[in-house]
Amino acid sequence: MGFSAALLASAACTLVLPLLLFLAAAKLWELYCVRGRDGACPLPLPPGTMGLPFFGETLQLVLQRRKFLQLKRQKYGFIYKTHLFGRPTVRVMGVENVRHILLGEHRLVAVQWPASVRTILGSGCLSNLHDAQHKHRKKVIMRAFSREALQHYIPAIQEEVSACLKQWLATSTSEGEGCLLVYLEVKRLMFRIAMRILLGFRPSQTGPDSEQHLVEAFEEMIRNLFSLPIDVPFSGLYKGLRARNIIHAKIEENIQAKLAGKEPADGYKDALQLLIEHTQSNGEQLNMQELKESATELLFGGHETTASAATSLITFLGLHPPVLQKVREELQAKGLLGTVSQDKALGMEVLEQLKYTGCVIKETLRLSPPVPGGFRVALKTFELNGYQIPKGWNVIYSICDTHDVAELFANKEEFNPDRFMSPFPEDASRFSFIPFGGGLRSCVGKEFAKILLKIFTVELARNCNWQLLNGPPTMKTGPIVYPVDNLPTKFTRFSGQV
């Protein structure tokens, strides 16, 4: 009898104790979430849920990504609360709401990426700097994206894109019914361009094996940027840091070569060289770690986002032949189409005249912005559309959702580049179309990205025809937007006749 009672008590403890602990944790979590509200402000918190104790809703976001965000928007509207990456968070979308956030930089909000992003990219990169430090660093980097600098980059970009497309055509021809996984190929192309233009790597410095190794390391780092801030073996943060260290080692080799004066002078200075010279001219101590972090951020911004956009361009042009036809007609009108013009060099003036091609790029970025949003933290409690945003809470503004709901655009789901041919009223369009963010934190390399994407579109349209073998792709965010199937595509040579 005593044995049975002991067994029963043991079983009760085994079952009841975990339940009690869970209930206690849930109650503490509820109190923590409620306490997050600023009692001095009479306004309510935004609607929404905070998820599981301690984990919040991070796991749902990581596993479901776009589906999770779509369900939240449908249920709670343009402003809702959640708990992501270890922090209470408000997610914001809609033109006026986003305007309030982007124009409130340094007054209402400040940039603050999740802990995992800050750890992997490092405190020395531009996106993690504030106030005067951010202003000075941005000014230096912007010199690498001046009109004069961009003009100098054009031949190298055209050379890389042209060589890549020739290889795609040769591969498709030699394999008969074979195809290319476009997203993977475009990422390699954009990585080569970013390494060459932004960091000053020469083609001889990165052979195919070394390049592939770096691309794989970069992809591993990006996959784990947004992860739980737990640095233990096999965690996302652990894998992201290991991959980051591989990239840093290669970048440090390049920095040492620049410091030793081994880089050939070819008439322009890349962004990394400008950062080094700025540090030296100010008599500052050369901080190798900060330089590596800045270079890694430039690579991230210079190739992951453009690879996403270029892949979307191939998708939309492949799905809309009349749009591709209009691009080719514009190229023909500018003398850029036909056998004689296939290898014609491009220049800034010519590229600026390609208005319709520019509209195709804008429409692509409207429907499929590579970066889904940006992170801020509330510097003080403030009101947003009738809700309180408590001090210390993270604020995520959504680019993709804001494009989706902007009243400026009629027939929003239709791919129609002509909508951009007539200028919109500046005030109405300023926060309706924000693929590069906005305000003081808008993307420093946006002009570089526009030129790169325009060159890519020109070379693609005047050299290739292509067929998307799986039709319209399913898109995923991780954290950059990309096609789940990597966009299998068959390329054939374009005859040059419209």
- Please give the average per-residue pLDDT across 218-237, as a whole number: 86
Does residue 328 fall inside a structural domain? yes
Is 230 strand, coil or helix? Answer: coil
- Phi and psi dihedrals of 121, rounded to 5? -75, -30
CB 220 within 8 A of CB 213: no
Does residue 185 fall inside a structural domain? yes
Does residue 52 fall inside a structural domain? no
Q: Tens of pLDDT along 28-79?
A: 555 555 556 777 889 999 999 998 877 788 888 777 777 888 889 899 999 9
Does the pLDDT value for residue 159 go beyond 70? Answer: yes
Joined tokens for residue 78: 């343009």
Does residue 5 fall inside a structural domain? no
Please report the pLDDT score of residue 157 as a whole number: 93
Average pLDDT, the chain: 85
What does the alpha-carbon distance between residue 319 and residue 470 come to, in Å, rounded to a whole number?
11
Does residue 465 fall inside a structural domain? yes
What does the alpha-carbon distance between residue 402 and residue 362 come to, in Å, rounded to a whole number?
15
Domain that holds residue 109: 58-493
Where is 90: in which H helix or E strand?
strand 87-92
Q: Tens of pLDDT along 367-409?
A: 999 988 899 999 999 999 999 999 999 999 999 999 999 999 9
Task: State how many domains the chain has.
Answer: 1
Residue whose C-alpha is closest to residue 332's, from 466, 447, 495, 456: 495
Q: Tens of pLDDT along 465-489?
A: 999 999 999 988 877 899 999 999 9
- Strands (DSSP E) contained in 100-258 are 109-111, 180-181
Mean pLDDT highest for which of 14-23, 117-126, 277-286? 117-126
What does the alpha-carbon distance between residue 490 and residue 168 come to, in Å, rounded to a whole number?
9
Mean pLDDT highest for which of 139-153, 289-303, 345-359? 345-359
pTM above 0.75, yes or no: yes
What residues contact residue 336 under an 8 Å CB cut-off, 6+ apart? 344, 346, 350, 458, 462
SS3 letters across 361-382:
HHHHHHHCCCCCEEEEEECCCE
Does residue 51 fall inside a structural domain? no
* Residue 335 CB coordination number (10 Å): 11
CB 449 within 8 A of CB 306: yes
Q: What is the CATH number of the domain that holds 467?
A: 1.10.630.10
The residue written with tokens 């809703």 in the block is 57
pLDDT band at 83 (very low <50, low <70, confident <90, very high): very high
Does residue 37 fall inside a structural domain? no
Joined tokens for residue 212: 């592939």
Please report the pLDDT score of residue 198 as a whole number: 85
- Phi and psi dihedrals of 81, rounded to 5? -100, 155
What residues contact residue 412 under an 8 Å CB cut-off, 6+ apart? 403, 404, 406
What does the alpha-carbon distance between residue 164 and residue 403 come to, in Å, rounded to a whole number?
32
What does the alpha-carbon distance between residue 69 and residue 67 come to, in Å, rounded to a whole number?
5
Does residue 444 fall inside a structural domain? yes
Residue whose C-alpha is closest to residue 483's, from 312, 297, 340: 312
